[in-house]
């Protein structure tokens, strides 16, 4: 199989001033993409800002012979996102790839969680994915080509103590992907999600050095690059860390039809059948679930 290349393609990578985003941006550029390196230059909790981080990554790309421009907008800011997309279009006239990666943390147990911290995290992760995706959507549809990679997390897919805000945002991103994968199909716009584990400033205080070494961001980037390529699937949640890749998905058991006069006791008594994952299905669209209900009730 040939090497994956992005010559002639334009990519926007958000939060690319450090960590995973930087790794994705450098690798896309190394493989020929022209890259908009977006980063607000924020601290982990989202405070502060300045576009130095983005500029440094642009310098690295240029020093290696690639093409890149820096953008210091916040992904949560409407005008900033508009400017980011306009910068890309003015410079290169198309946008083929969006990696929505920017993120912050405001971890606290739910007892101590303030609504302000909840909303801020939703704003940066969830609206900070919605807004860039919306801003490139019509461009990608008109080109009949686009690849988007959204960044989710095990904290959203499965839960993580102290991350109710982050987990809500990260699962919301999966919900966005599930609908966009359907709406993008006709125009060859593919949307996938990455659920990474990597050594970055977000995780460096949590693990010892030998573990951090195994979790080099480049090992996640390999999967992200595939999701940015022409051969990318659509609607996949790729989990990645330390060189292992897997797929996560929402599945549903076949279930039990309990009749039209079903009672709460019937549900209780049938629980083991309801919860039997032997023939579990992953649906591509919500309507398939309704079809199952009607088929089992013999309505259709
Ligand atoms: P990081 O903190 O190194 O990188 C995040 C970048 O986003 C920073 O450079 C920051 O300045 C930028 N940023 C923050 N708010 C922004 C805004 N409003 N607009 C533009 N840029 C902004 O962290 P890391 O680990 O590289 O995280 C990247 C993504 O991966 C995040 O979405 C994170 O939630 C996700 N993730 C990371 C995991 C890990 O193990 N490192 C695990 C699961 C998910």
Mind listing the pLDDT tens digit for each residue in 6-26? 999 999 999 999 999 999 999
Question: Domain boundaries in the chain?
Answer: 10-248, 251-300
Return the minimum-mean-pLDDT range out of 39-53, 77-91, 105-119, 147-161. Answer: 39-53
Q: Tell me if domain 10-248 and domain 251-300 are identical in fold.
A: no
CATH number of 10-248: 3.40.50.720
pLDDT at 162: 98
pLDDT above 90: percentage of residues in the chain: 94
Nearest to 132 by CA among 122, 124, 144, 141: 124
- Band (119; pLDDT cuts 50, 70, 90): very high
Catalytic-residue membership of 257:
no
- Band (161; pLDDT cuts 50, 70, 90): very high
Residue nearest atom 31 in ligand 1 by C-alpha distance: 103
Interatomic CA distance for residues 197 and 128, integer angstroms: 20
104 C-alpha to ligand 1 centroid (Å): 6
Residue nearest atom 44 in ligand 1 by C-alpha distance: 153
Interatomic CA distance for residues 191 and 27, integer angstroms: 19
CATH architecture of 251-300: Orthogonal Bundle (1.10)
- Band (47; pLDDT cuts 50, 70, 90): confident
pLDDT at 251: 97
Residue nearest atom 35 in ligand 1 by C-alpha distance: 151
Report CA torsion sign: 13, 15, 21, 26.
positive
Residue nearest atom 29 in ligand 1 by C-alpha distance: 101
129 C-alpha to ligand 1 centroid (Å): 12
pLDDT at 173: 98
pLDDT at 180: 98
- Band (1; pLDDT cuts 50, 70, 90): confident
SS3 string, the chain, reads CCCCCCCCCEEEECCCCCHHHHHHHHHHHHCCCEEEEECCCCCCCCCCCCCHHHHHHHHHHHHCCCCEEEECCCCCCHHHHHHHHHHHHHHHCCCCEEEECCCCCCCECCCCCCHHHHHHHHHHHHHHHHHHHHHHHHHHHHHCCEEEEEECCHHHHCCCCCEHHHHHHHHHHHHHHHHHHHHHHHHCEEEEEEEECCCCCCCCCCCCHHHHHHCCCHHHHHHHHHHCCCCCCCCCEEEEECCEEEEECCCECCCCCCCCCCCHHHHHHCHHHHCCCCCCECCCCCHHHHHHHHHHCCCC
pTM of the predicted structure, to 2 decimals: 0.97
pLDDT at 215: 97
Q: Report whether 42 contacts 49 (CB < 8 A).
A: yes
Mean pLDDT, the chain, whole residue set: 97
Interatomic CA distance for residues 254 and 273, integer angstroms: 9
pLDDT at 51: 63
Residue of 12, 14, 18, 19 to mutate, ligand 1, most atoms within 8 A of C-beta: 19
For ligand 1, residues with CB inside 6 Å are: 14-15, 17-21, 38-42, 44, 46, 53, 74-76, 101-104, 124, 128, 151, 153, 196-198, 200-203
Which ligand 1 atom lies nearest to the CA of residue 20?
26
Which entry of 158, 166, 257, 283 is annotated as an active-site residue? 166
Q: Report whether 166 contacts 155 (CB < 8 A).
A: yes
**Residue in the structure block whose two tokens are 């591509």:** 284
């Amino acid at each position: 199989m040939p090497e994956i290349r992005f010559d002639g393609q334009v990519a926007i990578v958000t939060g690319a001033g450090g960590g995973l985003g930087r790794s994705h941006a450098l690798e896309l550029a190394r493989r020929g993409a022209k890259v908009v390196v977006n980063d607000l230059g924020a601290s982990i909790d989202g405070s502060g800002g300045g576009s130095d981080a983005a500029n440094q990554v642009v310098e690295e790309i240029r020093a290696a012979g690639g093409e890149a421009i820096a953008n210091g907008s916040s992904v949560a800011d409407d005008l900033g996102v508009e400017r980011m997309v306009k910068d890309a279009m003015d410079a290169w006239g198309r946008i083929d790839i969006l990696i929505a990666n920017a993120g912050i943390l405001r971890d606290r147990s739910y007892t101590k969680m303030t609504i302000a911290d909840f909303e801020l995290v939703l704003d940066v992760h969830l609206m900070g994915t919605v807004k860039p995706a919306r801003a490139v959507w019509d461009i990608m549809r008109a080109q009949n080509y686009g690849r988007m990679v959204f960044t989710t997390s095990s904290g959203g897919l499965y839960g993580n103590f102290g991350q109710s805000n982050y987990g809500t945002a990260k699962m919301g991103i999966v919900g966005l992907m599930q609908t966009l994968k359907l709406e993008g199909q006709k125009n060859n716009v593919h949307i996938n999600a990455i659920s990474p584990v990597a050594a970055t400033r977000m995780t460096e205080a949590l693990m010892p050095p030998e573990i951090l070494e195994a979790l080099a961001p480049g090992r996640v980037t390999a999967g992200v690059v595939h999701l940015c390529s022409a051969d990318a699937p659509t609607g996949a949640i790729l989990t990645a860390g330390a060189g292992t890749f897997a797929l996560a998905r929402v599945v549903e058991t076949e279930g039990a039809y309990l009749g039209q006069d079903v009672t709460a006791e019937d549900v209780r008594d049938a629980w083991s059948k309801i919860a039997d994952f032997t023939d579990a299905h992953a649906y591509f669209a919500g309507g398939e679930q309704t079809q199952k209900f009607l088929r089992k009730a013999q309505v259709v």
